[in-house]
Amino acid sequence: MLTIENLHAEIEGKPILTGLNLRIRAGEIHAIMGPNGAGKSTLANILTGRPGYDVTSGSVQFQDQDLLALSAHERATAGIFLGFQYPVEIPGISNLHFLRTALNAQKVARGERELSGAAFIKLAREQADALSFDQEMLKRSVNVGFSGGEKKRNEMVQMGILAPALAILDETDSGLDIDALRAVGDGINRIQRAPNKAALLITHYQRLLDYVVPDFVHVLADGRIVRSGGAELALELEREGYSAILEEAA
C-alpha cells in the first residue's frame, strides 16, 4: 500500500529526514515511536502534503501512485487521512456540514455519486454512536468548545465517515484519559483493521498500543528508522527508553 524509499527532507534548509525507509502493506497497522525531534510529525506532514517541507531525495509510492506528485487534496481523495495531535477548531462551520462537504468532494473526484442528506445523516449518526459521541455535537462548530478527548473522538467519527485506505494518526493518544483512550483505540480497530486498509500510529507512549496492537513497531531517530520489531518492542522502549537503541544506531 505505502512504500517509502530513502526519503530525505528538510525544513528551511535544516535536514529532518535522512534516509527513511518504510513499507506498509494492506491489512497492517504500524506504530512509529522515537524521541522528540526525531522527525515523526515531519513524516506525517510530508505524507499528507503539508506545505513548508522540502523533499530533497527519495520516493513515496501509495497504491501504485507517486504520492509526492499529488497535491494535499488529491492525497485525501486517494485515501489518506491525517489525525492531528492538536485538532484545529473551525468556528461557524458545523461538523455535519464540514464532513458532508468533505465526503462528497472526495466522491465526486473519484467519479462516485454524492451521498444524499438523509443518507449522510444516517452514516454520521452510526459513526457517532459507535464512539459514544453525543450526536448533538455533530451540529456544533468543528471542535469549538470541545475537550481534548471530545476532539479526538470527533476525529475518529471523521475517519469513520471518510473511510480512508491509510490513516496516519499523529499522537492521537495525546491528552486522553483512560476512557477516551479506550474509545479511540476501539475506533481505530473498528475502522482501520481490515484487509484493504492500514494505519500508521505515531506515538510517544506504549499505552495506546495496549488497545491497538500493531503488527510492527519502528523506532525513528535522527531522521531514519533505526530498529523495527513487533509489539514487544514498544514494551522494551517503555521499560528501558531509547538510550541503548540510539547508541547502537550511532
- For 86, phi then psi, to 5°, come to -125, 90
Q: Helical H runs in the chain?
A: 40-48, 72-78, 95-109, 117-130, 148-162, 178-192, 231-240, 243-249
Give the closest residue to 78 by CA, choosing from 47, 44, 114, 43. 47
pLDDT digits (tens), the chain, 250 positions = 999 999 999 998 899 999 999 999 999 999 999 888 889 999 999 999 999 899 999 999 999 899 999 999 999 999 999 998 888 899 999 999 999 999 999 999 999 999 999 999 999 999 999 888 888 889 999 999 998 888 888 999 999 999 999 999 998 887 788 888 888 899 999 999 999 999 999 988 788 899 999 999 999 998 999 999 999 999 988 888 888 787 776 6
Q: What is the CATH number of the domain that holds 122?
A: 3.40.50.300
Domain count, the chain: 1
- Torsion angle of the four alpha carbons 115, 163, 134, 154, in this order, in degrees rounded to the nearest 10: -120
Domain with 123, as residue range(s), is 2-249
Give the closest residue to 184 by CA, choosing from 206, 158, 208. 208
pTM beyond 0.75: the answer is: yes
